[in-house]
C-alpha cells in the first residue's frame, strides 16, 4: 500500500497540480481533502492544459478514481462546468468521479456575506478569492451548513434553505444588498445538483477497499501551509486545514495510512492576497520573478506578490507536515538572475536581535520583522532542458543543496518548466 500526500509549503500556487498530475500516472485513486474552488491547479500534460479548481488531478489517468472528500466545500456551478470542460477534451471523468455527500455546498449568499466582511475590514481585509470560502466554513462549524446530502431531498433542502435565508437576507439587506429569492436560489442549486447527481456518492468504502487491496492513493492538498487556518498567518489565511494532517479527517483515512508526504515549494516565494510576506520584493527583481514566472492568480487573475525563498518559513512547514520528500519548483524562473538571496531568519525591529523561531509570533509581528539573507551566485543560463540533476549548472545544484540543508528535507524533484516532463527526479539515498 502507498498513500502519498502532496501539500503546499508556502502560500499556495507552488505547482501542486503539476506534481499530482505527474504522480497520478501510477495512482489508482486521487483525492482532494480540503479547500474548495479557491484553489486553481494548472496541469500541462500530453492531453492539454487544464486549470482545475475542484476536480482531483487524476482525471488524465483513465484508470484512476477521482474523489472529492468530505473536507472539501463544493461550488456546484464550478464543478459542473469543470466536468463538462474536461469531457470536452475527450476525457471521461464522470464515471470515475466520487463526490462525498458530506461536502458542504457553497450557496449564493456565501460570496455576498464575504464581500460584506471584506468591505468592512477595508485596509485590513484578507484579500480572499471571493468564492465564499470563509462564510461556508463558518456555517459548517456552526451547524448551519447545507450539504450535498440535503440536496437529494427537495423537502429537506427547502426547509434548510428557508431557515438560512431568514438569517442571511436581513443581514444582506442591513448592508444595502438585495434579499435573495427563495425560489431563484432553490431552482438554481437543485438544477445544478441534478446535473452532477450521479457523481454524488460516498467514497469512504471505495477508499477503504483500495487501502485493503494495497492500491496507490494520492492525496491532493489545496492552498499551502502558511494559509492554514491554525498555523498560517491568521487572519490572512484560508478557512480549511491545508496540512498533511488534514488529509486524514478531510478524506476519512487513519493518519498512519499515509506513507509519504511530498512537500511542494517554489524556488522563490509568492503570495496572492494580503498579509505578511517578509521576503517580498517591490523592485526590478520582484518584477522579473513575476514576469518570468507568469505569476498571476489562476482563480482571480490578480498579480502574485513575489520575493526570495524563505527557508525559515519552509523549515517550519516541512516540520509541520512531516515532509518526506521535497519538490522544488520553478527553478527556471531564476535563470537570469546574477545573485540569489535566501532568507535564513528574521531580525526583530526594536532590538535588531535575531528571532530564532517563527512560530512564536503572529502575523502582526511577522509583518514588522526584517529578513536576514545569505547570498548565492546565480547561474545565468537556461535550466529548462535539464532532465538530470547533473544537467543543472553547478550554481543551480548548489542552490538546491543549500535549500535542502536549510529546510531539513531531501529534495526528490526539481521542476524546470510547466510541462509534465520538465522534471528532474532525484533518487533517494
Ligand atoms: P498550484 O495551485 O500549487 O497547483 O499551482 P498553480 O497551478 O496555481 O501555479 C503554478 C504555475 O506554475 C502554473 O501556471 C504551472 O503551469 C506553472 N509551473 C509549474 N511548474 C513550473 C516550473 O517548474 N517552471 C515554470 N516556469 N512554471 C511552472
Ligand atoms: P491553490 O490550491 C494561493 C488565499 C487568498 C487569500 C486567502 C483567503 O491554488 O494553491 P479564501 O478565498 O481562501 O478565503 O482566501 O487565501 N488563497 C490562495 N492563494 N493559492 C490558493 O490555492 C489559494 N486559496 C486561497 O488569496 O489570501
Ligand atoms: Mg493555484
- What does 167-213 look like in DSSP terms, one character per residue? HHHHHHHHTTPPPPPHHHHHHHHHHHHHHHGGGB---HHHHHHHHHT
Using CA positions, which residue lies closest to atom 14 of ligand 1?
A: 42
Give the 3-state secondary structure percentages of the chain, helix then strand then coil, rounded to 5: 40, 20, 40
CA 342 – CA 251 distance, rounded (Å) = 36
Q: How are beta strands 29-32 and 216-220 bridged, if at all?
A: parallel
CA 428 – CA 410 distance, rounded (Å) = 8
Using CA positions, which residue lies closest to atom 6 of ligand 1?
A: 13
Q: Which of 36, 57, 56 is nearest to 128 (CA)?
A: 36
Which ligand ends up closest to the CA of 57? 1
Q: Which cell numbers in the block locate residue 356?
A: 530564532
Atom of ligand 1 nearest to the CA of 8: 3
Give the binding-site residues of ligand 1, using a 6 Å CB cut-off: 8, 12-18, 40-42, 44, 293, 298, 329-330, 332-333, 415-418
Give the binding-site residues of ligand 2, using a 6 Å CB cut-off: 8, 11-13, 38-41, 126-129, 131, 133-134, 222-224, 227, 238-239, 272-273, 298
Which residues are close to ligand 3, an ion, with C-beta < 5 A?
A: 13, 40, 298
Per the annotation, the verdict on 401 as an active-site residue is no
Ligand 1 centre distance from Cα of residue 295 (Å): 9
Q: How are beta strands 97-99 and 65-68 bridged, if at all?
A: parallel
Q: Of 114, 270, 272, 303, which is best to mutate to test ligand 2, by the most ligand atoms within 8 angstroms of its C-beta?
A: 272
Ligand 3 centre distance from Cα of residue 87 (Å): 22
- For each of the chain's 429 residues, which pLDDT tens digit applies? 699 999 999 999 999 999 999 999 999 999 999 999 999 999 999 999 999 999 999 999 999 999 999 999 999 999 999 999 999 999 999 999 999 999 999 999 999 999 999 999 999 999 999 999 999 999 999 999 999 999 999 999 999 999 999 999 999 999 999 999 999 999 999 999 999 999 999 999 999 999 999 999 999 999 999 999 999 999 999 999 999 999 999 999 999 999 999 999 999 999 999 999 999 999 999 999 999 999 998 777 889 999 999 999 999 999 999 999 999 999 999 999 999 999 999 998 888 888 878 888 889 989 999 999 999 999 999 999 999 999 999 999 999 999 999 999 999 999 999 999 999 999 876
Q: Name 113's Cβ contacts closer than 8 Å, sequence gap at least 6.
A: 132, 135, 168, 171, 172
Residue 31 to residues 207, 248, 331, Cα–Cα distance (Å): 9, 11, 27
**Which domains can be identified in the chain, with CATH numbers?**
2-101+199-262 (3.40.440.10), 109-197 (1.10.300.10), 265-425 (3.90.170.10)
Atom of ligand 1 nearest to the CA of 39: 2
CA 384 – CA 422 distance, rounded (Å) = 7
Cα-based angle 73, 75, 81 (whole degrees, multiple of 5): 135
CA 104 – CA 317 distance, rounded (Å) = 28
Using CA positions, which residue lies closest to atom 5 of ligand 2?
A: 128
Residue 301 to residues 64, 258, 324, Cα–Cα distance (Å): 30, 34, 32
pLDDT score of 39: 97
Atom of ligand 1 nearest to the CA of 292: 26
Q: Of 127, 238, 327, 329, which is best to mutate to test ligand 2, by the most ligand atoms within 8 angstroms of its C-beta?
A: 238
Ligand 3 centre distance from Cα of residue 204 (Å): 27
Q: H helices of 235-281, where?
A: 244-247
Helical pair 154-174 and 182-196, crossing angle rounded to 10 deg: 130
Task: Given the residues 21, 28, 37, 41, select the one marked as catalytic.
Answer: 41
Per the annotation, the verdict on 13 as an active-site residue is yes
Q: Of 44, 266, 400, 418, which is best to mutate to test ligand 1, by the most ligand atoms within 8 angstroms of its C-beta?
A: 418
Rounded to two decimals, the pTM is: 0.97
Which ligand ends up closest to the CA of 37? 2
pLDDT score of 212: 96
Which ligand ends up closest to the CA of 18? 1
Q: Which residue has the cell 536581535?
A: 353
Ligand 3 centre distance from Cα of residue 200 (Å): 25
pLDDT score of 133: 98
Ligand 3 centre distance from Cα of residue 37 (Å): 10
Report the sign of the C-alpha dihedral through residues 85, 294, 306, 269, in that order.
positive
DSSP element (H, E) containing 112: helix 109-121
Q: How far is residue 105 CA from its own chain's centroid?
A: 19
Amino acid at each position: 500500500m502507498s498513500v502519498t500526500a502532496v501539500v503546499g509549503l508556502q502560500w499556495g500556487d507552488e505547482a501542486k497540480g503539476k506534481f499530482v498530475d505527474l504522480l497520478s500516472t501510477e495512482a489508482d485513486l486521487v483525492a482532494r481533502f480540503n479547500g474548495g474552488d479557491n484553489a486553481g491547479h494548472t496541469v500541462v500534460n500530453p492531453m492539454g492544459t487544464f486549470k482545475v479548481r475542484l476536480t482531483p488531478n487524476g482525471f488524465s489517468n483513465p484508470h484512476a478514481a477521482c474523489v472529492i472528500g468530505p473536507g472539501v466545500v463544493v461550488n456546484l456551478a464550478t464543478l459542473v462546468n469543470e466536468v463538462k470542460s474536461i469531457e470536452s477534451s475527450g476525457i471521461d471523468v464522470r464515471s470515475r468521479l466520487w463526490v462525498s455527500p458530506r461536502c458542504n455546498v457553497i450557496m449564493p449568499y456565501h460570496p455576498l456575506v464575504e464581500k460584506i466582511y471584506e468591505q468592512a475590514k477595508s485596509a485590513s481585509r484578507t484579500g480572499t478569492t471571493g468564492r465564499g470560502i470563509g462564510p461556508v466554513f463558518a456555517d459548517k462549524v456552526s451547524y448551519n451548513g447545507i450539504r450535498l446530502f440535503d440536496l437529494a431531498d427537495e423537502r429537506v433542502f427547502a426547509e434548510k434553505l428557508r431557515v438560512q435565508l431568514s438569517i442571511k437576507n436581513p443581514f444582506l439587506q442591513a448592508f444595502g444588498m438585495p434579499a435573495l429569492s427563495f425560489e431563484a436560489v432553490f431552482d438554481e442549486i437543485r438544477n445544478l445538483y441534478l446535473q452532477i447527481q450521479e457523481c454524488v456518492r460516498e467514497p469512504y468504502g471505495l477508499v477503504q477497499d483500495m487501502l485493503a487491496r494495497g492500491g496507490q492513493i494520492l492525496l491532493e492538498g489545496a492552498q499551502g501551509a502558511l494559509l492554514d487556518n491554525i498555523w498560517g498567518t491568521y487572519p490572512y489565511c484560508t478557512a480549511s486545514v491545508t496540512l498533511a494532517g488534514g488529509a486524514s479527517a478531510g478524506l476519512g483515512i487513519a493518519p498512519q495510512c499515509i506513507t509519504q508526504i511530498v512537500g511542494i515549494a517554489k524556488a522563490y516565494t509568492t503570495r496572492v492576497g494580503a498579509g505578511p510576506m517578509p521576503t517580498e520584493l517591490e523592485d526590478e527583481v520582484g518584477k522579473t520573478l513575476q514576469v518570468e514566472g507568469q505569476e498571476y492568480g489562476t482563480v482571480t487573475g490578480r498579480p502574485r506578490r513575489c520575493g526570495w525563498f524563505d527557508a525559515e518559513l519552509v523549515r517550519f512547514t516541512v516540520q509541520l507536515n512531516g515532509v518526506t520528500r521535497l519538490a522544488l519548483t520553478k527553478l527556471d524562473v531564476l535563470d537570469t538572475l546574477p545573485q540569489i538571496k535566501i532568507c535564513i531568519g528574521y531580525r526583530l525591529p526594536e532590538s535588531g536581535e535575531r528571532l530564532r523561531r517563527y512560530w512564536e509570533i503572529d502575523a502582526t509581528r511577522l509583518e514588522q520583522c526584517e529578513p536576514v539573507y545569505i547570498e548565492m551566485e546565480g547561474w545565468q543560463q537556461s535550466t529548462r532542458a535539464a532532465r538530470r540533476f547533473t544537467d543543472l549548472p553547478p550554481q543551480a545544484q548548489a542552490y538546491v543543496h543549500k535549500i535542502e540543508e536549510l529546510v531539513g528535507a531531501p529534495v526528490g524533484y526539481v521542476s524546470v518548466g510547466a510541462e509534465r516532463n520538465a522534471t528532474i527526479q532525484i533518487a533517494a539515498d
